Amino acid sequence: MPEIIIVKDEAEAGELYARCVADLIKAKPDAVLGLATGSSPLAAYQALARVVHDEAIDVSAVRGFALDEYLGLPLTHPESYHSTIHRTVVEPLGLDPEKVHVPGDVLEGAPLEDGIGTDGHIGFNEPGSSLASGTRVKTLAEQTRIDNARFFDGDINQVPMHCITQGIGTIMKARHLVLLAFGAGKAEAIEETCEGGVSAFCPASALQMHPHATIIVDEEAA
């Protein structure tokens, strides 16, 4: 079972994530980080950037693989995950852009941080996804397009229909999985993830089978 940590807010979750990843990079300077988009990880990336700068941690050899990407958006679009990962992670942390790939190819033995969709998706593995590895082309669920319309002027028609994502099998090969979720809107998905049966209806429930998964949630999501 995943370990579940209930925190006060996103800032406290960010501090936990930042300490864990900063210590990893100190011990393993060429660590591979799995990188999620969405709003859930933003405070964690900011906290990690602060620790990296305060403790003058050398991140020049760190590699990063993003979980997923929209299909049909130019890389330069501000909401492409290429742009998002560079704006929210690569630049604040000072990573070498050459070592960060969106989306990832193979991600064995890496720690990976993720958010969760209100429908229980991880990466862009929507309900009904198999445990396949590799990088998969998928159709976005209607619920995810509705949720993500906030990044596209509230207009669902601007949200791409398709995406490319690391498969659940690939995500499961990460050495340490960290899932962050905040707010009541995630409570049902977290309940299914932690207490439901392992099922394709809730892709995140696969975390129940991972040997080292950490779920960090606030009171509302818990």
Chain positions contacting ligand GLP, by CB under 6 A: 36-40, 67-68, 115-117, 123-124, 144, 148
Nearer to ligand GLP, 22 or 113 (CB): 113
- Is 126 noted as a catalytic residue in this protein? yes
In whole angstroms, the minimum distance from the beta carbon of 140 to ligand GLP comes to 8
Given 121, 176, 210, 218, the catalytic residue: 121
Q: Which of 126, 147, 192, 218 is catalytic?
A: 126
Token reading at 146: 């509705």
Residue 37 or 80 with smaller CB distance to ligand GLP: 37
Contact 44, 18 (CB under 8 A): yes
Tokens of 206: 């696969």
Q: From the CB of 182, what's the least distance to ligand GLP, in Å?
A: 8
Closer to ligand GLP at the Cβ: 40 or 88? 40
φ, ψ at 20 (rounded to 5°): -65, -45
Helix, strand, coil share (%) of the chain residues, nearest 5: 35, 20, 40
Give me the residues paired with residue 217 across strands. 6, 181
Residue 67 has which token pair? Answer: 């979980």
* Options 69, 113, 114, 119, the catalytic residue: 119
- Between the alpha carbon of residue 120 and those of residues 37, 46, 68, 156, 185, the distances in Å are 15, 25, 15, 20, 11
In the complex, the smallest distance separating the C-beta of residue 106 from ligand GLP, rounded to whole angstroms, is 18
Is-catalytic flag, 119? yes
Question: What is the distance between the alpha carbons of residues 152 and 84, in angstroms, rounded to a whole number?
Answer: 13
Of 94 and 158, CB closest to ligand GLP? 158
Least distance to ligand GLP, CB of residue 55, Å: 27
Q: Which positions are annotated as active-site residues?
A: 68, 119, 121, 126
